[in-house]
Structure 1
Amino acid sequence: MNSKFNALIILLGCPAIFLGQQTGLEDVLMKAGKNYQSIKKKEVNIKASHERLTLQKTYYLPEVTLMAQQNFGTINAQNGPMYSQGGLGVASTSMPLPDQNWNAAFGSLYLANINWNVYTFGRLKTKEQLETADVEVQKSDLNQEVFQHQIKAAGAYFNLLVSQRLEHVQLENHKRSEVIYTIAKARAESGLIPEVDASLAKAEMSNAQTAIINANDHVLEYNKQLADLLAEDFTGYQLDHYFSENIPVTTSEVSSLEAHPNMMFISKKINKSKFQEAHLVTTGLPSLSLFGVFQGRGSGFGWNYVQDNSAYSPSYLKGAGVDRMNYIFGFNISWNLTDFYRNSSKVNEQKLMTKALDFDHQLLQQELTNQQRLAESKFKNALAKVTEAKVQMEAATDAYHQQKALYENGLTTIVDFTQALYLLNRAEINYEIAKNNSWQATVLIAASQGDISIITKAIIH
C-alpha cells in the first residue's frame, strides 16, 4: 500500500521523469531570454524606436506638395477687406459689378510647391541624434530585462531542484521509518517490547508520509513558477541533478560595473538626456528655408467679362484647362525671439533631469558595489556550510546505523532510535539545502556583476 502511494507521489511531483527530457540550466536561460512576454514587448519597443529614427531622417528632404483643384461657381465681388482666421482663405476674383448676377462657370487651379529647410542651425541633426539615443535606450532596456529575467529563471530553477531533492530525502526517510515500524511490530508481537513502541513507530511512519506530501506540494509550486517564467504550460521538469551532486567552481574575476546591464541602462538614459539638452538649445534658433511655387489657373470666364457679362462659358472643358501660369521662388529666414527667451527654462529643466539621472547612476553604482561584496561573502559562507553539513550528515548516518543495530538487539529504546532517524533526516535536508545555497550564491554573484555566464562557467562536467 505504502509503496504504491510513494510511487504515485513521485509520478505527480516529477512527471517529466517519465514523460519528458531533462531540462538543463542552459536551456532554461535560453528560453527565459526569448519567450517571456515582457521581453517580447521590449523587442517591439526597439522596432518602434527604429521607425521613429527613420521618420526623423526624412525631415532632411524638401517638402513637395502637388495640388489640383476644379470648381464651379459665380464670381460676384465687392471692394472691401477680408481676413481668414486660422487657415487659407478662398475668395472669388473679379472686379466689382454694378448688379448681382448668377453667371457661373468652371475654374481650375494646379499647383506644385517645394519648401526645403536647408539650414536649421543643428535642430534636425540634434533631433536625429536624440532619436538614435532613444534606440540605444530601448536596446539597453531590453538587455536589462533579459538579464533580470534570466536571473529570476536561474533562481527558480535551483528552487525547484532543491524541492525535488528534499522530496527524495523524505522518500528515503519514509523507507527508514518503515524499517523501524517493521522491527518494532515484530518485536511487539513477540512480546519483547511494549505495544506502545509499535504505535510510536507507526506514528513516525505516518509523519514521514506527510512530509513527502508536503515536499511534493513545494515541487508542484516551483514547477508552476518556472513554467510561468519560461512562458510555458504547467508541467513537471526533470532537472539536471549535477547541481545537487557538485558545488560551483567560480573564478575571482570581477566584471566592470559600467558593463552591468542596469548600469548600461542608466548610462544610456543620461546620454539621451544630454542629447535632449542639445536639441532644446537649437529649438530657439532661427531656420533658413528655400521655397518655390509653380501655378497654373484656368477659368470659364473671359478676360473681358467685366465689360461684357456674356463673355463666359459654362463648359467644363473650358474651365478645366490652363489659361495663365505663374511661378515664384526665394528663401525665407524666420526666428521666433519669444521662443528663444522661453527656451532657456526648458534647457535648464532638462539639465536638472540629467543631474537627477546622475544621482540615480551613483546610487546604483554604490548598491551594486555593496551587492558584489555581499555576494562574495555569501558564497564563502555557502561553501563553509556545505563542508559542515557533510560532516553532520556522515555523523548522523553512522549514529542511525548504530542505533538500528542496538535496537534490533534490544539494547536501546524506540525513542533513541527515532531520535537518530530524525537527526539523519535533518542532516540530509541541511546537506541538500547547503549544496543548493552554494549555487544560489553563484546566482547572486552573477546578478551583482551583471554577467549571467558566471553561472554556466561554474559548471564543470
Structure 2
Amino acid sequence: MTKNGLRPGVDTALFLSELSRARIDLINARKNLQVLKIKLSALMVTDSSFVITDTTKFNRSPDGEKSNKDTSLSEHPLIRLAQSRVDWSKAKESLIKKNLLPKLNIWATTFARGSGIYPDGTIKSSDGWGFSKYNYGVGFQVAFPILKFSDEKFQKAEQNFISKSNEAMLNQTSLELSKQQDISNVTLQNALEVAKETPVQLQSADYAYKAILIRYNTGLVNFSDLIQAQFNLVKAETDLKKSYWEAWKALLFKTAVTGDLNIFLNEVK
C-alpha cells in the first residue's frame, strides 16, 4: 500500500481534516441563512421568523421561450408616473392660457318687505309678518384681466420649461428601461444556457468520481485523488443548483424591469 501511495494513517488524517472543513462551511452557511432571514424581516417590517417549507419550484430552470421576450413598457409604473407628470404640466399650461380670457359674471338679487302700517294711518301689527312689497334686480359683468398680461407671459414661459423638463424625464425613463430590458434579456438568456449546460458537467463529474472510487478501493490511486474527484462532484452539484437560482434571479430581474409580475408568477405556477 505504501508503494501505491496509500498510507492509512495519512488518509485518515486527510479525511478528518476535510470533514472538519465541511462542518465549518455548514456552520457558516447556517449563519448566513440566519442573517439573511433577519435582513428580510427588517425589510418586511416584521419580527416573525421565516420558515422555508417548499423550494420544489426552484429545483428546475424556468422556461426561457415564453419568458425571454420583449414586453411593452407603456404600462410600467415608472413610465406611467412620468407620463402623469407630463399630462399634469400640459393641463396647467392650458389653464394659464385660459386665465387671459375675459370673465363673464352674472348676478341677481331680490328684495321683499312687509308692513303693518297703512297710508290712511291704520295699524295692523299682525300684517307686518307677511310680505307686501317686492323688488328684484338682474345684471351681468364682463371683466378683462388687462393688468395680468405681463405676469401671464412669465407664467406661461415657466410652465413651458417645466413641461419640457417632464417630457425629457419621460424620454430618459423610457430609454433607461429599454436598455435595462435589453440587459435583462441577455442576462436571462445567458443564465438559461448555463443552466442547460451544467447537467452535462454534473454527469461527467459523477462518472469520474465513480471511476476514481473503484480505483481507490482497488489500491490504484491515493486518497488525495479521491478527495479531488469528490470535490469536483460536489462542485458540479453546487453549480447545477446555483445555475437554477441564477436563472430564477435573472427572470425576477426581467420582471422588475418590465413591471409585470405575471412573468415571474406564471413560471412558478
Give the TM-score range, shorter chain: 0.7 to 0.9
* Structure 1 stretches lacking a partner, 5+ long: 1-186, 298-324
Residue 385 of structure 1 pairs with residue 200 of structure 2: no
Matches within 5 A, 1:45-444: 193-232=7-46, 233-251=48-66, 253-292=69-108, 330-444=139-253
Distance 1:254 1:374 in 2: 11
Which amino acid letter does the alignment assign opposite residue 287 of structure 1?
A: K
Q: CA deviation at 1:292?
A: 4.7
1:289 touches 1:331 (CA, 8 Å); kept in 2?
Answer: yes
SS at match of 2:17: helix
SS at match of 2:59: helix
Distance 1:377 1:245 in 2: 20
SS at match of 1:447: helix
TM-score w.r.t. the length of structure 2 is 0.78
1:280 touches 1:347 (CA, 8 Å); kept in 2?
Answer: yes
User: Would the alpha carbon gap of residues 239 and 223 (structure 1) be closer, same or farther in structure 2, given more than 3 Å must change?
Assistant: farther
Distance 1:295 1:227 in 2: 71
1:403 touches 1:420 (CA, 8 Å); kept in 2?
Answer: yes
Distance 2:111 2:41 in 1: 67
Partner residue in 2 for 1:46: none
Q: CA deviation at 1:275?
A: 0.3
Q: CA deviation at 1:456?
A: 2.2
Partner residue in 2 for 1:448: 257
Distance 1:351 1:243 in 2: 51
Distance 1:293 1:238 in 2: 77
1:250 touches 1:457 (CA, 8 Å); kept in 2?
Answer: no
Distance 1:237 1:221 in 2: 14
1:223 touches 1:237 (CA, 8 Å); kept in 2?
Answer: no
User: Would the alpha carbon gap of residues 253 and 393 (structure 1) be closer, same or farther in structure 2, given more than 3 Å must change?
Assistant: closer
Which amino acid letter does the alignment assign opposite residue 438 of structure 1?
A: A
Distance 2:109 2:155 in 1: 36
Distance 1:195 1:441 in 2: 48
Q: CA deviation at 1:204?
A: 0.8
Which amino acid letter does the alignment assign opposite residue 213 of structure 1?
A: I
2:209 touches 2:233 (CA, 8 Å); kept in 1?
Answer: yes
User: Would the alpha carbon gap of residues 253 and 395 (structure 1) be closer, same or farther in structure 2, given more than 3 Å must change?
Assistant: closer
SS at match of 2:62: coil
User: Would the alpha carbon gap of residues 294 and 239 (structure 1) be closer, same or farther in structure 2, given more than 3 Å must change?
Assistant: farther
Which amino acid letter does the alignment assign opposite residue 458 of structure 1?
A: E
How large is the Cα RMSD of the aligned pairs? Answer: 2.9
Distance 1:409 1:386 in 2: 36
CA deviations over 1:74-125 (Å, ceiling 9, x no partner): xxxxxxxxxxxxxxxxxxxxxxxxxxxxxxxxxxxxxxxxxxxxxxxxxxxx
SS at match of 1:257: coil
Partner residue in 2 for 1:101: none
Distance 2:140 2:7 in 1: 114
1:389 touches 1:431 (CA, 8 Å); kept in 2?
Answer: yes
Distance 2:62 2:213 in 1: 32
Q: CA deviation at 1:344?
A: 1.4
Q: CA deviation at 1:396?
A: 1.7
Distance 2:216 2:58 in 1: 36
User: Would the alpha carbon gap of residues 391 and 333 (structure 1) be closer, same or farther in structure 2, given more than 3 Å must change?
Assistant: same
TM-score w.r.t. the length of structure 1 is 0.47
Q: CA deviation at 1:335?
A: 3.6
Partner residue in 2 for 1:39: none
Distance 1:352 1:419 in 2: 68
